Amino acid sequence: MAESCATSLACRPGCGACCIAPSISSLNKPAGVPCRHLDTDLRCRIFGQPERPACCGGLQPSLEMCGLSRGHALKWLGELETLTHPG
Q: Encode pLDDT of 20-78 as tens digits.
A: 999 999 999 999 999 999 999 999 999 999 999 999 988 889 999 999 999 999 999 99
Task: Tell me if 31 sits within 8 A of 21, measured CB to CB.
Answer: yes
Question: Would you list the domain boundaries of the chain?
Answer: 17-84
pLDDT of residue 1 exceeding 50, the answer is no
Burial 42-70 (b: 16+ CB within 10 A, else e): bebeeeeeeebbeebeeeebbeebbbeeb
pLDDT of residue 87 exceeding 70, the answer is no
What pTM did the predictor assign?
0.83
